[in-house]
Amino acid sequence: MIGPHKRILVTGGAGFIGSHLTETLRLDRCEVVVLDDLSMGRRENLHEAVEFHQGDVRDEDALRRALKGVDAVIHLAAKVSVRASTDDFINDASVNVLGTLSALKACAGTGVRKFVYASSMAVYADSPEPKPINEDYACRPISPYGVGKLASENYVLDICPRMGVAPVVLRLFNTYGQGQTFTPYVGVITIFIRRLLNSEPPIVFGSGEQCRDYISVDDAVTACGLALESDCGGQVFNIGTGTPVSVNALAEKLCELINPEIKPVHEAERPGELRNCIADAGKARRMMGYNPLGHVFDQLEDLIDYHKSLK
């Protein structure tokens, strides 16, 4: 159960993580409200019982309408591309920073008691080795996306207590799963699978030895629910598995599963992308009871079957 929170606003709730989360909350007998501009999300991702408001998270009127009777907010709405943020940093900051500030401002004087903010591993400095890092690791982002996420974290942690709202920050690592919108920039697993199913090689940027921590969308949803349930206001949590997987290993495994005749190709590395970022999620385990699913490779065949069903 989600605990005392009965009416919950999910910004960006028609998107990838959001649509999984809203369905989980609905099945847990919560009243769910979604605010989404549908730039990435889709209305058909949501059950008819979900109260839907189409609007931009920077729109104060839309926020006020969506917040009526709400006692908790899970703020997912964001531009989520590291690569795109380097080219369009103004729009990235407008949505990710000003959008967060708008959501915070709209909560003032309402019945909102908890604000869960979905941040990112992109807030961290690059790590020289693929070893798990905890929440005290240096926060020196190397992309505009990471800069905006870190700024928003600090705003959330500073402003919420002034309003009597308990803030929780979740630093999500590389999230994968069914329903991820295909773009050229976000979701390497989705991108690799789609290319291989189209008989195209996966493209690896740089050496491919850079390591990531891939978490199931179910883990991200579980973490959001635990953040609502737990008495952990004012805390920041890594949400990952602690298991490093190189991009080369991921590409090779997907080639093996889909089409062994195809081999990955390499292109020049892209700016703003971390070489190594693996989560030490011990704090989330201790304080919230977070327990991630198994290795990403164990989930790949089901994910491939899902993408085949879409063709």
Distances 54 to 13, 36, 284 between C-alpha atoms, Å: 10, 5, 33
The span from the CA of 58 to the CA of 95, in Å, is: 7
The span from the CA of 284 to the CA of 130, in Å, is: 20
Torsion sign, CA atoms 156, 217, 214, 293: positive
Mean per-residue pLDDT, 35-48: 96
The per-residue pLDDT for 280 is 98
- CATH number of 259's domain: 3.90.25.10
Mean per-residue pLDDT, 49-70: 97
In 3D, which of 221, 236, 230, 222 has the Cα closest to residue 134? 236
Q: Mean pLDDT of all residues in the chain?
A: 95
**Is residue 258 a part of any domain in this protein?**
yes
Query: Is residue 77 scored above 60 in pLDDT?
Result: yes
Same-domain status, 58 and 164? yes
The per-residue pLDDT for 184 is 66
Same-domain status, 92 and 42? yes
**Is residue 192 a part of any domain in this protein?**
yes
The per-residue pLDDT for 137 is 98
The per-residue pLDDT for 185 is 64
Same-domain status, 50 and 26? yes
The per-residue pLDDT for 42 is 95
**Is residue 152 a part of any domain in this protein?**
yes
DSSP per-residue string spanning the chain? ---S--EEEEETTTSHHHHHHHHHHHHTT-EEEEEE--SS--GGGS-TTSEEEE--TT-HHHHHHHTTT--EEEE------HHHHHH-HHHHHIIIIIHHHHHHHHHTTSS--EEEEEEEGGGSPP-SSS-EE-TTS----SSHHHHHHHHHHHHHHHHHHHTT-EEEEEEE-EEE-TTPPP-SSS-HHHHHHHHHHTT-PPEEETTS--EE-EEEHHHHHHHHHHHHHS--TTEEEEES-S--EEHHHHHHHHHHHH-TT---EEE---TT--SEEEE--HHHHHHH-----S-GGGGHHHHHHHHHHH-
170, β-bridge pairs: 118, 237
Mean per-residue pLDDT, 258-277: 92
**Is residue 2 a part of any domain in this protein?**
no
Mind listing the pLDDT tens digit for each residue in 224-247? 999 999 999 999 999 999 999 999
Mind listing the pLDDT tens digit for each residue in 105-134? 999 999 999 999 999 999 999 999 999 999
The span from the CA of 32 to the CA of 24, in Å, is: 10
pLDDT band, very low/low/confident/very high, at 83 (cuts 50, 70, 90): confident
Mean per-residue pLDDT, 35-42: 95
Phi-psi domain of 65 (left: phi exceeds 0; alpha: psi -120 through 50; beta: other) = alpha
The per-residue pLDDT for 1 is 44
Same-domain status, 44 and 166? yes
Mind listing the pLDDT tens digit for each residue in 155-210? 999 999 999 999 999 999 999 999 998 776 678 999 999 999 999 999 999 999 99
**Is residue 181 a part of any domain in this protein?**
no
Same-domain status, 226 and 256? no
Q: What is the pTM of this model?
A: 0.95
The per-residue pLDDT for 271 is 80
Catalytic annotation, residues: 145
- CATH number of 32's domain: 3.40.50.720
| Both structure tokens of 156 | 């959330």
239, β-bridge pairs: 172
The per-residue pLDDT for 5 is 66
Structural contact between residues 237 and 289, judged by C-beta atoms closer than 8 angstroms: no
Same-domain status, 142 and 205? no
**What is the chain's alpha carbon radius of gyration, rounded to the nearest angstrom?**
19
Which range of residues forms the domain containing residue 200? 188-210+244-276+300-310
Mean per-residue pLDDT, 137-164: 97
Same-domain status, 127 and 200? no
**How many structural domains is the chain composed of?**
2
DSSP per-residue string spanning 24-42? HHHHTT-EEEEEE--SS--
